Structure 1
């Protein structure tokens, strides 16, 4: 065989090998990194938007977003305790502990908000102030926990608490994913009964709905979904606040249409944010940095135009 023929065969074999390796790398990135990120964005966006819409009905407050009224803060506080006080390797072994801890923190915060709303008969400003108080206390306790963290743990936790879709994988999604999906499905299934709460608990009771039971189940489903979302993506601001508000301007207040639309639009919005961060190859931005940058001005604009009544 001539030298030229041997070189040609070597080049062909080398090309085939390079194409095979490139194909394996492509499928590994797609399956192990990009697909979990897409599913996480869809589930987290959907559960945050639907939970916010349900909370706004049961608390009679258009600003009842999980981030604003302190539910996400309660979940983040427990997550901070698990990731700082315990060894950082806990994040690998605590497949069930982290979602459970976030759910407990979200549930406690939700229950405190519910007690305040019941005692003050759903006064909008009182609920907001209670949420600010819970967020402040949670932030103070997390600041104390930061003292116990080393530099690397502090950096990782700070980025995670600002929202990141890159903290998840298939194992984590196998636990938190069904919880978020179940929370969304249950709240959408309760949408017809939630409509009766617009007229007050007396009217709802006259229609055959048990308001106390409905409210508790809705709060439990919201806390469970938000806790699971925080456990996989950290604290993400404004998705739950803005999506239901702007959808109500378009399709109205019927929860049978509103809640599924919130699930779809919340998923699309967070997926768009994930796509944006994915294509910014030079830097990985915290999700809340983007959502707050866009959502803050939109909130101010809505308040300025009188589209929101908070009291």
Structure 2
């Protein structure tokens, strides 16, 4: 991490991130048929929240995925695959469908809290299974599939009791959308995500010891159980807040850290921030591409799944996940 090459790599990724962020904001000025006042309104009220959402959500999912793969000792660990995002999505669905009208004004802080509670509950189940079934990586993935299946079933039942507008909102939430967040929700969620990501990245050296096994960590004076719990809670907070503002987004937290490690090695002091930068850049590019389409707003999870599915199959065929 202290090598000049590492610093240059992170610096280049930071510059790319700023360029993508600026390009998304500047896209409003490509609309020739609008006045200056309208463009300024779109910039402040639509494009800026969109750019912030893409940045923090991409960073949260990818840095959480990178950390989970170390803590759970499983290269397939991902907030979506192991059920963390599903638990958060279920709580979002409960809030959207069952919340009474007189509580709608509290949505900007009740939604992040509910999603965090769902993500934390799923994380606790996965962590308990991973500690009791240590060495059985497949069991953790199967447990995540079971949690995802269960939450999907509950959400299917919720559809039966939802009105048309709630069903539409829930569908977009499940498919992922960067256009859902407004300034109030971002005011609560973005600082939670940023703080969680900073905390996870600060644990890079600790995760290096955990990556080499509990004995190595204990010999370095690190309590593996305590540090794992801290990282998992931070991941649950980041993923819960990300789901609260963008819904469920597939594959991003799995594939970005995987390819970052292939390109940059296994030093988590480099992998964690690089994963955060790359995830933010990818979602900014998805948002920019969707913004350039004249009559459609693409569901983010559809785009990431379309890109991530073939990449995952390619990685599996190459034997990169072991």
TM value normalised by structure 2: 0.88
- 8 Å Cα contact 1:70-1:132 kept in structure 2: yes
Counterpart CA distance in 2 for 1:267 and 1:278 is 16
Residue 54 of structure 2 corresponds to which residue in structure 1?
A: 41
Q: What is the CA-CA distance between 1:122 and the residue it aligns to? A: 4.2
Q: What is the CA-CA distance between 1:93 and the residue it aligns to? A: 2.8
1:136 aligns with 2:149: yes
RMSD: 1.3
Match 1:210 to one of 223, 228, 235: 223
Which structure 2 segments of 5+ residues have no match?
1-31
| 1:144-155 alignment, distance < 5 Å | 144-155=157-168
Counterpart CA distance in 2 for 1:277 and 1:90 is 32
Distance verdict in 2 for CA 1:104–1:122, change over 3 Å: farther
Residue 228 of structure 1 corresponds to which residue in structure 2?
A: 241
- 8 Å Cα contact 1:85-1:148 kept in structure 2: no
| 1:56-95 alignment, distance < 5 Å | 56-87=69-100, 90=103, 92-95=105-108
- 8 Å Cα contact 1:45-1:269 kept in structure 2: yes
1:103 aligns with 2:116: yes
Match 1:219 to one of 217, 222, 232: 232
Counterpart CA distance in 1 for 2:132 and 2:104 is 38
Residue 306 of structure 1 corresponds to which residue in structure 2?
A: 319
Residue 28 of structure 1 corresponds to which residue in structure 2?
A: 41
SS of corresponding position for 1:95: helix
SS of corresponding position for 1:64: coil
SS of corresponding position for 2:158: helix
1:280 aligns with 2:276: no
Q: Which of these two proteins has the greater Rg computed from alpha carbons?
A: 1
Residue 187 of structure 2 corresponds to which residue in structure 1?
A: 174
SS of corresponding position for 1:111: helix
Q: What is the CA-CA distance between 1:284 and the residue it aligns to? A: 1.1
Q: What is the CA-CA distance between 1:91 and the residue it aligns to? A: 5.0
Distance verdict in 2 for CA 1:239–1:39, change over 3 Å: same
The C-alpha deviation readout for 1:218-258, integer Å capped at 9, x for no partner, is: 00000000000000000001110110000100100100011
SS of corresponding position for 2:80: coil
Counterpart CA distance in 2 for 1:208 and 1:276 is 48
The C-alpha deviation readout for 1:173-208, integer Å capped at 9, x for no partner, is: 110000000011000001101100122112101111
Counterpart CA distance in 1 for 2:302 and 2:44 is 27
Match 2:66 to one of 43, 49, 53: 53
The C-alpha deviation readout for 1:118-171, integer Å capped at 9, x for no partner, is: 000142100000000000110111111111101221012111211001111111
Distance verdict in 2 for CA 1:92–1:34, change over 3 Å: farther
Moved over 4 A (4+): 88-92
